[in-house]
Structure 1
Amino acid sequence: MGRFMMNTAKRLKKLNLPFWPKKTSCSEKKQKTSNHRVFVATIIFSCFIGTYLDLLFVGKQMYAFPARPFPDVFTINIAFTLLILPIFTALFLRIAKTLPAFSRILFIVLIGLCISVSEQFAENFGWFTHSEAWRHSYSFFGYMIFMLLIWKFYRWFQ
């Protein structure tokens, strides 16, 4: 009898039948919906913060956006705050939530570094100008603080 069961088990392993999908409970569905809401709320929060910071710094003439959509209406680049920043925030959250704490900190430092370098390229293309008082280290540290704030908001809201 023992030999029959061993052969049967081996034969069943060879069938490679797919597993039945696990049914999600009502609480799991609520949690997924809640996580989605937290994700969207964090993206909206980042857009508000980004927009208000741009309005503040453009108003103080620290930097400007010479090439922007609807220049007669908006002093800031709304394409950045309504398109690029939400996509960037979504990517950041997707990656950051998979990383351990130390790697997440390094990731945020890397983002700050990439942003400060990319601003210099944007200046060369005429998309962005800074005042003489501006230092790219402001962007480096500013984006690190911004991303840390976004991450803390996301974790707090969960």
Structure 2
Amino acid sequence: MIPKRNSYWLKNAHVPVSIIENITFPKQTREGLCLVDIERVHELKQQEIPVTFARDNCCDPFYIFGDNDVLEVFNQAVKIAHLDTPYGDWICIVTKTAVDLIGLQKLGRIGVGLSADLICFKARYFSELLSRNQPDRIVLRNGKQIDIILPDYAELDDLMSDVR
């Protein structure tokens, strides 16, 4: 919980913040404290507190609409938290910052000597990227394009029996 209107202590304590966007909403206690709410994201970023967005986006009993799509997580974060332009300042919330906080510093970035695991989109601007779901994306794993054709839902029936 963060004292209302004061995240200064978070920065000094070096405490990162991860927001699970489909369940983190503003809440207030009688003591005037609130859970990290969406509206505070801009304040946290301004104070250089690492902020990430995540979602149980894996189609399980907890979130049956998930499809392991990091673009969907970013898209919803932009819309829910009003992550205004420049969008390029915010993409790290689901890439570099997110993996840094879980100790995977070689992921979430592009560089010499790093694995070339990335997603390529035809969008020229973030506005185009976020306007459509980008079904024609190209996924590279270790620098090689992989097949991203989603299975028919019928093929997943055995895996989803607990969800229904």
TM class, shorter-chain normalised?
Answer: under 0.3
- Which has a greater percent of helix? 1
- Which has a greater percent of strand? 2
Question: Rg bigger for which structure?
Answer: 1
In the superposition, the TM-score normalised over structure 2's length comes to 0.21
Structure with bigger RCO (C-alpha 8 Å, 6+ apart): 1
